Homo-oligomer: A and B are copies of this chain.
Amino acid sequence: MTDLSLEYLFHPRSIAVAGVSGDSDGFNAGLRYLRIIADAGFKGRLHGVSPTSGEVSGFKIYSSVRDVPGEVDYVISAIPARFTPQLMTDCVAKGVKAVHFFTAGFGEIEDAGGKMLEAEILSIARNKSIRIVGPNCLGLYCPETGLSFSPQFPKQSGDFALMAQSGGNSVNCVCEASSRGLYFSKVISFGNAIDLNECDFLEYLADDLKTSVIGVYLEGARDGARFARILREATKRKPVIVLKAGSTDAGVRAAASHTGSMAGRKDMWESMLKQTGAIRVHSIGEIVDVALVFLRMSPPGGRRTLLIGPGGGASVIAADDCARAGLTLPILPAGSREKLKQIMGGTETGGGFRNPVDLYRPDLLKQAVEAACNWDEFDVLLAHLPFELYGLMPDDTKDVIRRVFIQAVLDLRESPFRPHAVVLHASTADRSRQQAMELRAKLSQAGFAVFESIGHAASAINKAMAYYEWRQRAVAGDEGGYYDD
């Protein structure tokens, strides 16, 4: 089967949701899907299926998939597991192309009946080439066509894609990414993956012209060997950022309970990911950190970093964080330092100007960056503003600094020395963090790569650089090349 075969999944002409109940005041997953998809702007036909047919919240409900008028391309199942074989048989009769099982209670439960039920619906489906997404997952999000599984998801499309075995982690990732200015082409929450699995989805996304960067949350692989082959080809075309969960004994056990995954041997995964050029991360936030470097920063030519922002002690910690993450901080030449000193009013106090540059007047950011360096000597600019320092300043000074820092960063877009990344760090102290969050949102929506700590930014940049280097070797035919960050 080819990757293109999955395109229809994201472009159904009609959808039926099975398991819509209108008689309860409580939470009904089926009705929720209908509402979310309608709100997301789905243009096709949308119906509900329930033994108690009629109408619920304006949606027409049929007692069986067979009774829905016209063709049904895509079915979402929110019914209890024990009724799924009957639903599957109805879908076969109706000529449905794909079924997404939100329904849980299959291979992930301890009871052997769960696995038997999986085998049963799979055999009915394969008989007639109906493809299955899931079970035990949230399904598809494709803003372009109005497929969605959370009311929080933006309508805006982007070029980031995510495939994830966990629905909760998918939601987390979409919210995190969109709050930081990244939007999605497609998101696939695929749970137990009894039919369509990690291989099929990765193959599809690697070919998808609307996807530039792929994020992957995986608990285990259904077909590890094929996945490794597809991954190696995929990374030659676009960055693939992988969070392989279940990489400790406790995590393996949790993964087995969660999606019935065999998480596999830790060292096996580690070397496989390195050999295939995948970028390994350890949290949902880190998936977004690394994606931001690819999607919001021009590719740095190397790791030589200019670190500039206020705070003497903050600069020392920041320098350590950069170096530990693998970046280097070359020393500013004397001439540049002299220029900086003039701009700052003739004094060099605090953390100094050697790099890191202790920019105690953030309003001078643009001037300072221009004076600080002949750009050829640096690959990356990290401009940072530590909000925790605000305790040292009167309120009106803080307001001024916030305003001028934002303006200075925005100004840099027109400068040849445009910043590659912005860090707005803050302690958890409520007030400063709230202010930092507001500024982050503003600059993120303006298209900047914004991070919440120097460490996060530096590590993401270093991992992206390692990928660029790996790809160069891989494309040049050096098949023995390892990705190593």
A248 touches B428 (CB 8 A): no
Interface string of A312-330 (1 = CB under 8 A from B): 1111111111111000110
- Residues of B close to A318: CB separation below 8 A: 254
A320 touches B248 (CB 8 A): yes
In residues 257-289 of chain A, which contact B (Cβ within 8 Å)? Answer: 257-259, 282-285
Asked if B245 and A320 make an inter-chain contact with CB atoms under 8 angstroms apart, the answer reads: yes
Please name all residues of chain B whose beta carbon is closer than 8 Å to the beta carbon of A455 when the two chains form the complex.
283
CB interface residues, A 418-441, toward B, < 8 Å: 427-430, 432-434, 437, 440-441
Q: Beyond the given A250-B322, A258-B312, could you list 6 further A-B residue pairs with CB under 8 A, ordered by the A residue number?
A: A150-B392, A151-B391, A179-B427, A251-B319, A283-B453, A428-B440
Q: Are A313 and B167 touching (Cβ within 8 A)?
A: yes
Q: Contact: A166 with B248, CB < 8 Å? A: no
Chain B residues near A430: list those with CB within 8 A: 179, 437, 441
Among B109, B173, B354, B428, point to the contact of A176 (Cβ < 8 A). Answer: B428
- A56 → chain B, closest Cβ, in Å? 16
Please give the residue numbers on chain A whose beta carbons come within 8 Å of chain B beta carbons, in ascending order.
27, 32, 104-105, 108-110, 136, 138, 150-153, 164-169, 171-176, 178-180, 217, 219, 243, 245-251, 253-259, 282-285, 311-324, 328-329, 331, 347-356, 358, 386, 388-389, 391-392, 394, 397, 427-430, 432-434, 437, 440-441, 452-453, 455
Total copies of the chain: 2
Task: Give the contacting residue for A168; candidates B217, B257, B389; CB below 8 A.
Answer: B389
Would you call A105 and B248 a contact (CB within 8 A)?
A: no
Tell me which residues across on chain B come within 8 A of A320, comparing CB atoms.
245-248, 250-251, 282
Could you tell me the distance between the alpha carbons of A355 and B252 in the complex, rounded to whole angstroms?
Answer: 11
Is there contact, CB below 8 Å, between B331 and A253?
yes
A326 to chain B, nearest CB (A): 11
